[in-house]
Amino acid sequence: MLRSKPLITLAVTLFCMIIASAAWSAEFVNLSAQELNTRMQNGEKLLVIDPLSDLEYNEGHIPGSVNIPFHLLATTDQLPADKAVAIVTYCLGPKCVFYKQSAERLAELGYTNVMTFKAGLPGWIKAGYPVEQTGALEKTKIQTMNVDELKAGLDGVVIVDVRPPSLYEMGWIPGSVKIPLGLLTAEYTQIPKGKRVVVVVDHAGKQVLTAGRFLASNGYGEVKRLQGGLMAWSQKGYPLER
């Protein structure tokens, strides 16, 4: 009977952790497009944050929102000193993880009135509200390359990995130049121009079009994007560095 006490304690602890986790996940008030627009139009003191890269922000954002890439939230000087200010995070819809991760990071930083706009930019557009662009890239067509083609031609390409550092633990394609998308405009000159082809890689093939267009507009000749991203490469069992 005494032996069962540690097991009971462990079970209770796990149960509390699950409850706490559920409470954490439900912690943030989620606004509709109409609620967010009303608050902004009424002049409420509200900081609306797009936590994507500057390139993605420039392609289209909610007017009045500010761009603070997720990886800079902990070090930026754009956040208010008043921890009680209302803050809303959004990105490219429910499948875009950065709106939730940003809300969690802000809560960790001590902000007490953090909300989310889960529907994101697609939901804003669907509701009929305007979108602002600032220096959007030319809609250059960026060809795709599949993982088998890349594996066969690794020696003739330079691979640019634009994933955030939080995903590096799964590894990267050998020889990759790692520049998170949020830093690409500042650090792209690190990418050598000696290779004929530049292949842009992300986690699942969703962000590479923006990165590819940026590189093509800055003098990189044949730019391609990896179809399926690093997930497709990994699923094939191809080698990764760590």
pLDDT tens for residues 65-98?
Answer: 999 999 899 999 999 999 999 999 999 999 998 9
Q: What pLDDT is attached to residue 221?
A: 83
- Position 108 confidence tier, pLDDT thresholds 50, 70, 90: very high
CATH architecture of 4-126: 3-Layer(aba) Sandwich (3.40)
Domain 4-126 identical in fold to domain 143-235: yes
Query: Which of 141-150, 189-198, 226-235 shows the lowest per-residue confidence on average (mean pLDDT)?
Result: 189-198
Can you give the residue ranges of every domain in the chain?
4-126, 143-235
Mark out the alpha helices in 29-162 (DSSP H runs).
Answer: 33-41, 54-59, 98-108, 120-126, 147-152
Going by the DSSP 8-state scheme, the letter that residue 156 receives in this structure is: G
Residue 130's Cβ-count burial label (10 Å; 0-12, 13-18, 19+) is: exposed
pLDDT at 28 over 70: yes
Q: What pLDDT is attached to residue 4?
A: 46
Angle at 57 between CA 197 and CA 43, to 5 degrees: 180
Kindly report, residue by residue over 34-43, the tens digit of the pLDDT. 999 999 999 9
- Position 25 confidence tier, pLDDT thresholds 50, 70, 90: very low
Q: Which residues lie below 8 Å from residue 103, measured CB to CB, with a gap of 6+?
A: 28, 89, 114, 115, 116
Nearest to 99 by CA among 75, 118, 125, 72: 118
CATH superfamily, region 143-235: Rhodanese-like domain (3.40.250.10)
